[in-house]
Structure 1
């Protein structure tokens, strides 16, 4: 078995005279959360250290479990797998002598299981087996006394499962929109009960007609010059009515070459892929894309570490959509060379505009098993800075493998990939988790926030990711442009838009989503290095066609 994160081995190169060192007494546990436990004992005799050994029950002492040494007469052990019972043993260390091991102490003594299904009452006659499953919905069980929250996400069948200790729990579902209500809104479950298990289903019902489509780009690999890179593009119907529309994905075709698109595109141009889609409420579609990036020796458009590629995904919904901000997702991805495959990234970039204060940011944590054996369990821990983020707004979005999440100690989010059996071969040894969380409204321009994540493979010491720092800036979205690229910012915007181009612009035209010309500008009358007013435009999505000696490029922006 692998060693635990707090593993400290004390190697004593001599024989212990066990009869002269008395064992600890009153060996017991407290403060069990499902993922951590506090061990307590009383010291006796001349003991100066204690060794605790444990393993998954049934466990035989001395069979190669985890050994932890401490000079205190208590310790907190974290990284436990919820729903798994452990056996603990302890012995005293008295200088050059040791006592016999005492135990086992079983942790937890009681463990409880909550499960259920979540359905969407599409025909509004009560949830039945014919109604669609609510996929990717967050279910939370909160301990009424400690406030500790245990969370899970519904799977493709709308099912969820939660492991909780004894206590009284408030169980509820998290709605992505106020246009949908849940029955029940919440339920109280008291453990222990005779079976140590409970079933709680939820039925979701629309209470208003609302159209809300959300688009997101998920980078599955870091971008390295000359290598392949992959993305998932997700389209989710967060509204209450079916929607049929089109998805458009734009990429710099001079810098990257399309390899595969699944499902196949409906239409395409040199730098744009399009699909038509139909989505029922709470349904999600995923489009899998792979590209090959140019090398540093490309004769026309070389790529190097530090260059930025700009990708955009959007759907064409107009004013009927209740939230136009999430109809478009822009990804500014910085190229790297050699890199640590265990990392954390803010998908909005290292700078965000002031209008993102109080809005959601998307974070991806990637992990890769670079060891020599499969990882049976993987745990990802992210401590949220509650002086910068609203922990109550946390929403898990996506992952490479099935998992469940919990929030403990008020700000510690943990993602559990139990029985993942993550391989150690290059082709199958990686995974990720994606979530979103809102910044606080109290933040101001110039504020920054940084964060790291801890990744645990079985009982090994954690791998610490990079520190991801994000700054609020009035020049957010402006990155060093790659050759023959144009950046538009801020996006979305209410009054002005600005272009940052590596070459001279001759003219530009603004069209609405119906293809109607709204404005046009010429270099003889317009300074394209100055902001351009969009005050007269109505709220919605627009396309900006930029023409230069290098050709034509189409950008998209949202007028707030």
Structure 2
């Protein structure tokens, strides 16, 4: 009995050296998203303060239940991102390495709110003496009237971050007069000491400009080559002698040497002789005296119209390929269109061959030049000459004024039955932790007859769950679903939209790759390579809705890619403006590493005209009338999906870049990201734990330090959340590196660090 009492006393004494709950660990919410990076390891010395630290092992868990069951330990406690917003209770497991006794405890991690800090502006009008600003006049602009904050002002952002060299006193004289000066403002929460930074702009300007620039420029009567510009002459104390008007290409600067003189009593001028489908900027200035002129006005952007790109020409050619079931050379009722090939044509016998990919068998050519002459034929895709024949040509075709719409037909003869189904998976947006994203399964009957039945199979990535499926009647499986379809007619395309749920960090992390695949199975398919499709996408924090991506996710194992394989590209666009886009043009100049002759158009979100001229691809969405996201978020986007092969001779380590440009109406192009596809030895790389790399400070704003104690660092790549490489260091033989990150935009980045032994590690960097 005495031995038992002694044992109980020992256990109670040992347990009394630990707490059941430890003081919370708090972190300021720098991004105001209720998530932050915590250093849990800072609590370990407190936990082991009354014992020999070498006798105990401390492990942290996402929850107390996980600590009880010893499952899912937190492997990077010094770099932990909370998975629940605001406050989360973690479990702690303390193990005596000598006796194997186990003590359980908890600790809360809390997100402390950072105060709102709005940018502000103070203006003064001063011509004769230095202005004096009372910086407190900006308090309401900066804080919105919040009384629970302390506001201080600094001349540099470094001082604002450190809270040093604060501007003292109520009167501040700016460095620049007249002009603008930016001060940095630190807004600190009185209750929790968290702070946010913003700017205060001091705008000192001259009073009563005696010769002001014209305002309110507008353009009217816009045609292919001309327009009228109108403006408002403000009128200053000096009066005016005349105006100068200048039109320059978009982005160029105005010049007196290339301007036109307009009477002071006039506020209108007509520009002529401009280039169709081109954007310009117009400037106007007032000349008040022989040596006194106003500044140039703010520019007015004007884009010339072009009926060829907008699809509004009165004269149009419509090319139509179809299955000539009765071989009479005439398209009869019930004969279906044919899309397995390209229209080939030349203009004016100049020797420059153009290729038009039919959209459901049809291709449009708009032309307002009646002197142009066209020659046409239809070329089948490679390998189809055994099954089909196309012998029709049309030569010396012109579009005379007033001819309207001219139809040219290309009958396709079936030599023997062709059974082929294709299946492709197309991205609609990018995966983000905690959000859903969509992929579209597109399946098509490329054969000559109706496919009576078949099965579409979808296999999801193990890290995501299926949130919704647009198709009814599917059969769910442990890793996706199947769908049995019937009566898919020739040239018919059907789609299934799959909505997938992405888990939160740390189940997935920024930079992880998610792969989903789809396939189709039918009886007697003679062409199997297009029966399956895989889409690999990177997990990002946010993304640009106008982008370009390739389905392999950026890296392809060199030995697994054969001469029969294609690269599958998707260009996505979204109308983020305020009005409908009447027509859209997408352009893609293929990389010199891609074989343009293998280009095949696969799918598009809307009816589209697809043209290839050498390596230049152009898609025209005529009359798309795409609504803006602000009014129709589900209908404001679209895409093109195509495939092309690399040129022969690609090698291990080669990188194929590709970029696209998107034109909404007559607006300047939106240039997408450059998507790089690299041929690699394998997708798995030797890695080392991120703890081997010391990175500080994080978050960073100007300088980032990296140190690896075990071996030298050879390469560093930094990617933004869209996967774009923003920094490269490839020649290094040191284990300590300093990087200037002051030019980086605020946000989240992914660092890939490679050592001299080719081990790789990824770390998340926050720039604030």
TM-score tier after normalising by the smaller chain length: 0.5 to 0.7
Q: Distance in 1 between matches of 2:305 and 2:423?
A: 47
| Paired position in structure 1 for 2:597 | 392
- SS at structure 1 position matched to 2:530: helix
Change (3 A) 1:282 1:296: same
| Paired position in structure 1 for 2:612 | 407
| Paired position in structure 2 for 1:296 | 505
Shifted more, 217-226 versus 396-405: the winner is 396-405
Show CA shifts across 1:359-411 (max 9, x none): 432111111222233322222111112x3122233222222222213334x33
Matched, 1:418 2:622: yes
| Paired position in structure 2 for 1:453 | 660
Matched, 1:171 2:376: yes
| Paired position in structure 2 for 1:37 | none
Show CA shifts across 1:68-114 (max 9, x none): 9xxxxx9765469xxxxxxx99999999899xxxxxx9978997411
Is the contact made by 2:316 and 2:364 (CA closer than 8 Å) also made in structure 1? yes
Q: Distance in 2 between matches of 1:463 and 1:89?
A: 18
Shift of residue 130, structure 1, vs aligned partner:
1.8
Alignment of 1:327-346 (within 5 A): 327-346=531-550
| Paired position in structure 1 for 2:320 | 117
Alignment of 1:220-235 (within 5 A): 220-235=428-443
| Paired position in structure 1 for 2:584 | 378
Is the contact made by 1:135 and 1:283 (CA closer than 8 Å) also made in structure 2? no
Matched, 1:369 2:575: yes
Change (3 A) 1:284 1:373: closer
Q: Distance in 2 between matches of 1:112 and 1:363?
A: 33
Change (3 A) 1:347 1:91: closer
| Paired position in structure 2 for 1:316 | 521
Change (3 A) 1:76 1:50: farther
Q: Distance in 2 between matches of 1:171 and 1:263?
A: 43
Matched, 1:49 2:258: yes
| Paired position in structure 1 for 2:677 | 470
Matched, 1:282 2:491: yes
Q: Distance in 1 between matches of 2:437 and 2:305?
A: 47
Q: Distance in 1 between matches of 2:671 and 2:516?
A: 28
Alignment of 1:248-259 (within 5 A): 248-252=457-461, 255-259=464-468
Show CA shifts across 1:270-307 (max 9, x none): 2131122343333322222222222226xxxx223222
Shift of residue 258, structure 1, vs aligned partner:
3.4
Shift of residue 189, structure 1, vs aligned partner:
3.9
Shift of residue 322, structure 1, vs aligned partner:
3.3
Q: Distance in 1 between matches of 2:305 and 2:436?
A: 49
RMSD across aligned positions (CA): 4.5
- SS at structure 2 position matched to 1:325: coil
Matching residue within 247, 250, 257 for 2:456 = 247
- SS at structure 1 position matched to 2:529: helix
| Paired position in structure 2 for 1:102 | none
- SS at structure 2 position matched to 1:48: helix
Matching residue within 389, 393, 406 for 1:198 = 406
Change (3 A) 1:2 1:201: farther
Matching residue within 280, 302, 306 for 2:511 = 306
Is the contact made by 1:121 and 1:131 (CA closer than 8 Å) also made in structure 2? yes
Change (3 A) 1:152 1:245: closer
Is the contact made by 2:277 and 2:305 (CA closer than 8 Å) also made in structure 1? no
Is the contact made by 1:179 and 1:209 (CA closer than 8 Å) also made in structure 2? no
Matching residue within 529, 536, 559 for 1:325 = 529
Q: Distance in 2 between matches of 1:463 and 1:147?
A: 28
Is the contact made by 2:421 and 2:447 (CA closer than 8 Å) also made in structure 1? yes
Is the contact made by 2:584 and 2:621 (CA closer than 8 Å) also made in structure 1? yes
Shift of residue 475, structure 1, vs aligned partner:
2.3
| Paired position in structure 2 for 1:218 | 426
Shift of residue 329, structure 1, vs aligned partner:
0.9
Shifted more, 343-352 versus 250-259: the winner is 250-259
TM score, norm. by length of structure 2: 0.47
Change (3 A) 1:473 1:75: farther
Task: Considering Cα pairs closer than 8 Å and 6+ residues apart, tell me whether 1 or 2 has the greater RCO.
Answer: 1
Show CA shifts across 1:344-364 (max 9, x none): 001133123443446432111
Change (3 A) 1:453 1:79: farther
Q: Distance in 2 between matches of 1:128 and 1:309?
A: 47
Q: Distance in 2 between matches of 1:106 and 1:263?
A: 45
- SS at structure 2 position matched to 1:128: coil
Larger Rg: 2
Is the contact made by 1:136 and 1:154 (CA closer than 8 Å) also made in structure 2? no
Shift of residue 438, structure 1, vs aligned partner:
2.3
Show CA shifts across 1:111-151 (max 9, x none): 74111433223566664212223368654543231626363
Q: Distance in 2 between matches of 1:203 and 1:123?
A: 10
More helix by share: 2
- SS at structure 1 position matched to 2:470: strand
Q: Distance in 1 between matches of 2:550 and 2:341?
A: 22
Q: Distance in 1 between matches of 2:278 and 2:337?
A: 32
| Paired position in structure 1 for 2:15 | none
Question: Structure 2: which 5+ runs fail to align?
Answer: 1-217, 248-254, 261-266, 288-292, 297-303, 688-768
Matching residue within 470, 475, 479 for 1:261 = 470
Q: Distance in 1 between matches of 2:612 and 2:669?
A: 18
| Paired position in structure 2 for 1:433 | 640
- SS at structure 2 position matched to 1:324: coil
Q: Distance in 1 between matches of 2:340 and 2:418?
A: 19
Change (3 A) 1:146 1:113: farther
Is the contact made by 1:49 and 1:93 (CA closer than 8 Å) also made in structure 2? no
| Paired position in structure 2 for 1:162 | 365
Is the contact made by 2:276 and 2:306 (CA closer than 8 Å) also made in structure 1? no
Shift of residue 182, structure 1, vs aligned partner:
4.9
